[in-house]
Amino acid sequence: MKYNLKLILLAALTVFTASTYAQLTPAPSSTQTITQDFGLGKINLTYSRPNVKGRKIFGNVEPYGKVWRTGANSATVIKFSDDVSIEGHKVPAGEYGLFSIPGESEWTIILSKNPKQWGAYTYKEADDYLRFTVKPVKLNETQETFTMQFVNVFPTSAELHLMWEHTALNLHLTTDIDAKVMSRIDSAMKTDKKPYYEAVIYYYNNNKDLKTALPWAEEMGKMPGMPPFVADLWKARVQLKTGDKTGAITTATAGVEAAKKANNDEYTRLNTELIALAKK
């Protein structure tokens, strides 16, 4: 009983000390929060960033085969506002603790259902939502500060890179938004404010039925505030993708004239490039 009381008092003192003096001196391991748009939602990642400081990290400071908080101070927290998949494993929207078990040739990545923890001292395998393994990548140059970042971000895929010392991990994320987007477009097209611009771009970029998108592209030019050279460019792109090169050239030519009249160099170039592509 006395032992448990000592633990409670020690934990309370630790929290008090951290909260009282955190703003008086800089933290040895700075905290970073990243918010990344992904699919129709967002990913929020909060972690602390320790430095190498001349030490051997993995296999020493962070032993192989032991659960690591994947950072410093509080356990790393990752929050998904929408369902995603990580390395092919489905993860429902929610907030998770991101732990890991370093290894020489293989790491175990853990998503815990208990995200609010100090370090990994109270980590319990029973709280795991997901475990999977990944192969580490050797870095030629030293990564002094532990760094996590989202790279190669597309509407439905992205990578989360973890880098420290001479080790990197690449986690592949995907999200399936097509059915939801198509349903939203269908519903919005039944309203007074039809999303012609967004719908045309989505249909074009995702190889949907362009016969449906073409009349939307024509209507796009009638939208209040829509520059004609923008509407012309997207209509020409749809025409070209459907094989109507003559129509695409005619539409893009009108786009060039409108862009020049508005002194818009960017859309003058984009429409001109499309004309050249259609003439091949």
CA distance 129 to 183: 30
Q: Using an 8 Å Cβ cutoff, are 109 and 132 in contact? A: yes
Helix (H, G, I), strand (E, B) or coil at 88: coil
Verify that 213 and 127 share a domain, yes or no. no
pLDDT at position 119 is 87
Summarize the confidence of residues 135-145 as an average pLDDT. 96
Q: What are phi and psi of 213, to 5 degrees?
A: -75, -25
The closest alpha carbon to 44, from 78, 82, 84, belongs to 78
Summarize the confidence of residues 90-106 as an average pLDDT. 97
CA distance 133 to 175: 20
Verify that 256 and 229 share a domain, yes or no. yes
* 70 secondary structure, DSSP code: S
Q: With a cut of 60, say whether residue 218 has pLDDT above it.
A: yes
Helix (H, G, I), strand (E, B) or coil at 45: strand
Q: With a cut of 60, say whether residue 15 has pLDDT above it.
A: no
Count of positions (residues) in the chain: 280
Verify that 142 and 87 share a domain, yes or no. yes
Verify that 65 and 110 share a domain, yes or no. yes
Q: With a cut of 80, say whether residue 202 has pLDDT above it.
A: yes
- Average pLDDT score over the chain: 91
Residue 7 covered by a domain: no
CA distance 17 to 114: 23
β-pairing verdict for 157-174 and 84-86 = antiparallel
Q: Which of the listed residues 174, 200, 228 is the one where a domain comes to its end?
A: 174
pLDDT at position 131 is 97
Q: Where are the beta strands (DSSP E) in the chain?
A: 30-38, 41-49, 76-80, 84-86, 89-91, 94-101, 107-112, 128-134, 137-151, 157-174
Verify that 142 and 194 share a domain, yes or no. no
Q: With a cut of 50, say whether residue 20 has pLDDT above it.
A: no
Verify that 36 and 142 share a domain, yes or no. yes
Verify that 187 and 169 share a domain, yes or no. no
Residue 198 covered by a domain: yes
**By mean pLDDT, which of 1-15, 135-149, 205-219 is the weakest?**
1-15
Residue 17 covered by a domain: no
Q: Which of the listed residues 157, 174, 191 is the one where a domain comes to its end?
A: 174
Verify that 235 and 130 share a domain, yes or no. no
pLDDT at position 143 is 96
Summarize the confidence of residues 247-272 as an average pLDDT. 97
What's the number of domains the chain is made of? 2
Verify that 191 and 207 share a domain, yes or no. yes
Label residue 8 by pLDDT band (50, 70, 90). Answer: very low
Label residue 23 by pLDDT band (50, 70, 90). Answer: low
Question: Which residue range is the domain that position 57 belongs to?
Answer: 28-174
Label residue 80 by pLDDT band (50, 70, 90). Answer: very high
Q: Which of the listed residues 141, 174, 207 is the one where a domain comes to its end?
A: 174
pLDDT at position 204 is 96
Verify that 36 and 148 share a domain, yes or no. yes
